[in-house]
């Protein structure tokens, strides 16, 4: 296996989850048990450029099929994040009707719409049909394709480049991050800015967030490793912010190396120093995630077995990819977790892959309140607690499993 960024052989183990079904590959209830495909899920680290990356994996067409069900607009937390991002970028870059924003992996358009309503020209690129269609229904122009340098050239030569390229939560999802970033550099106008957001590897390892590893995430970036990817693509980082979304993310502000040469904020050197001090550029630091995954599996199973022995029901909240990783890793089935609620009607009536747990509408929380609710997207814990309070469902105790089993 050669590094997706620098091409060196990759051998340092970070996490081995065995074989896993596709995290967002919900299955219909009438599909025979055990027939959904499983693929090895193993992350290794390149000790030359320190990029953590999956070992091969299924083709993009399998990972992001036409019926890919993830719609980001269902999360209140995400919608607020998108709104804040848009306000901030419009103010910082002085964007108006003469400017153009291109968002890569637009999903259902909930972020891009924040620019469109202010009269800014918008274009979205989204390879999956279901979210692309949801974005079109908001009136957004969408190119339904996988993004790379060829598409970037076609888009630039067609309608011109972009003053802002939004590449949030996508760089880790593509098999060739350098080619993707090269496409971003092609799309940028002379003074253009591209932002990249991604979960920070330091938060993943130190926060023991092993359930954020799934086949769709090919790369897990630190600032050290992503800087190497971006520089090969002709982009330079001139500022960054640390964000709380997805358990701790980074937002990088980049421009073309041939661009205006904005001064580099001190936050960039500060974070590089912080990563060096934490051990991101040393092999030992990467040895702590696998033992954490083993421990969480033991703790979660102990909690679920004890609840069942007491005759108590534990339901699940959020049929998110994280949940598929966690439940399949721990070997949790319907005997321990009879259902998972999800707001997205596209998911309801189907089963989580592998563990075969039914996805149901939220009404079950009011109709037959469980004693506990295991919040699979633990980053939405606060949102779920508020939702339960609003619904008068305060007898239901929320539970999260990462970084340790926490009840209430």
Site of interaction with Zn ion (CB under 5 A): 3, 5-6, 8, 46, 48-49, 51
Are the beta carbons of 286 and 242 closer than 8 angstroms? Answer: no
- What is the C-alpha separation between 35 and 28, in angstroms, rounded? 11
Residues 6+ apart with CB under 8 A from 387: none
Q: Comparing C-alpha atoms, which of 361, 316, 309, 312 is closest to residue 334?
A: 316
Q: What's the min distance (Å) between Cβ of 197 and Zn ion?
A: 22
Instruction: Report, in Å, the least distance between residue 174 CB and Zn ion.
Output: 16
**From the CB of 11, what's the least distance to Zn ion, in Å?**
11
Tell me how far, at minimum, the Cβ of 354 lies from Zn ion, in Å. 31
What is the SS3 assignment for 234? coil
CB nearer to Zn ion: pick between 50 and 238: 50
Q: Say how far apart CA 202 and CA 194 lie, in whole Å.
A: 22
Which residue lies nearer to Zn ion by CB, 53 or 72?
53
CB of 46 or CB of 132, closer to Zn ion:
46
Residue reference for tokens 């090269």: 182
Q: How far is the CB of 45 from Zn ion (least distance, A)?
A: 9
Instruction: Name the strands in the sheet holding 121-125, side by side, starting at the edge strand that comes first in the sequence.
Output: 142-143, 121-125, 100-104, 162-168, 188-199, 249-256, 235-243
Largest Cα span, the chain = 65
Total residue count of the chain as it appears in this document: 408
Structure tokens at 187: 């799309």
- Separation between Cα atoms, residue 145 and residue 6, nearest integer Å: 26
Minimum CB distance to Zn ion smaller for 44 or for 350: 44
| Distance in Å, CB of 186 to Zn ion, minimum | 23
Q: Which is nearer to Zn ion, 9 or 160 (CB)?
A: 9
Choice between 4 and 100, CB closer to Zn ion: 4
Nearest approach, Cβ of residue 185 and Zn ion (Å): 20
Distance CA 291, CA 309 (A): 27
Nearer to Zn ion by Cβ, of 5 and 110: the residue is 5
């Amino acid at each position: 296996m050669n590094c997706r960024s620098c091409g060196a052989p990759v051998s340092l183990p970070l996490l081995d989850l065995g074989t896993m079904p596709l995290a967002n590959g919900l299955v219909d209830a009438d599909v025979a048990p055990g027939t959904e495909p499983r693929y090895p899920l193993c992350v290794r680290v390149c000790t030359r450029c320190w990029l953590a990356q999956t070992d091969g994996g299924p083709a993009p067409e399998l990972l992001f099929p036409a019926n890919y069900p993830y719609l980001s607009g269902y999360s209140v937390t995400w919608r607020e994040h998108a709104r804040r991002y848009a306000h901030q970028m419009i103010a910082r870059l002085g964007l108006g009707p003469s400017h153009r924003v291109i968002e890569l992996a637009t999903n259902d358009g909930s972020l891009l719409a924040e620019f469109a309503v202010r009269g800014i020209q918008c274009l979205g690129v989204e390879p999956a049909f279901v979210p692309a269609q949801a974005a079109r229904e908001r009136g957004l122009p969408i190119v339904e394709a996988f993004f790379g340098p060829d598409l970037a050239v076609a888009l630039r030569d067609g309608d011109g480049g972009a003053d802002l390229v939004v590449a949030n939560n996508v760089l880790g999802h593509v098999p060739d991050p350098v080619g993707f970033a090269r496409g971003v550099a092609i799309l940028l106008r002379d003074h253009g800015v591209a932002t990249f957001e991604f979960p920070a590897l330091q938060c993943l390892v130190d926060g023991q967030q092993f359930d954020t590893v799934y086949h769709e995430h090919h790369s897990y970036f630190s600032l050290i490793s992503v800087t190497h990817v971006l520089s090969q693509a002709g982009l330079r980082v001139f500022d960054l912010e640390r964000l709380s979304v997805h358990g701790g993310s980074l937002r990088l502000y980049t421009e073309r190396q041939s661009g205006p040469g904005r001064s580099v904020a001190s936050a960039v050197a500060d974070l590089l120093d912080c990563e060096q001090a934490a051990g991101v550029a040393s092999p030992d630091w990467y040895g702590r995630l696998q033992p954490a995954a083993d421990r969480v599996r033991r703790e979660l199973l102990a909690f679920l077995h004890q609840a069942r022995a007491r005759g108590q029901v534990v339901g699940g909240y959020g049929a998110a990819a994280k949940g598929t990783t966690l439940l399949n890793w721990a070997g949790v089935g319907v005997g321990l977790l009879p259902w998972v609620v999800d707001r997205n009607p596209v998911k309801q009536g189907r089963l989580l892959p592998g563990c075969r747990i039914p996805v149901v509408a939220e009404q079950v929380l009011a109709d037959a309140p469980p004693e506990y609710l295991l919040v699979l997207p633990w980053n939405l814990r606060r949102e779920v607690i508020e939702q339960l309070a609003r619904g008068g469902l305060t007898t239901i105790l929320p539970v999260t499993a990462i970084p340790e089993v926490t009840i209430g």
